[in-house]
Amino acid sequence: MSSGSEKKLSMDELLEKNRPAQMAQATPQTPPPEVHPTKAEWEDLMSDLCTLGYHTERQTGYLKKVSELLVQLPPRRRWTSC
Radius of gyration for the alpha carbons in the chain, expressed in angstroms and rounded: 33
Q: What pLDDT was estimated at residue 5?
A: 57
Q: In angstroms, how far is the first alpha carbon of the chain from the final one?
A: 77
Provide the whole-model pTM: 0.47
**Residues in contact with 17: Cβ distance below 8 Å, sequence separation at least 6, in sequence order:** 9
For 21-79, the pLDDT digits (tens) are: 655 456 678 878 888 999 999 999 999 999 999 999 999 999 999 999 998 888 877 77
More confidently predicted of 4 and 12: 12
14 has pLDDT over 60: yes
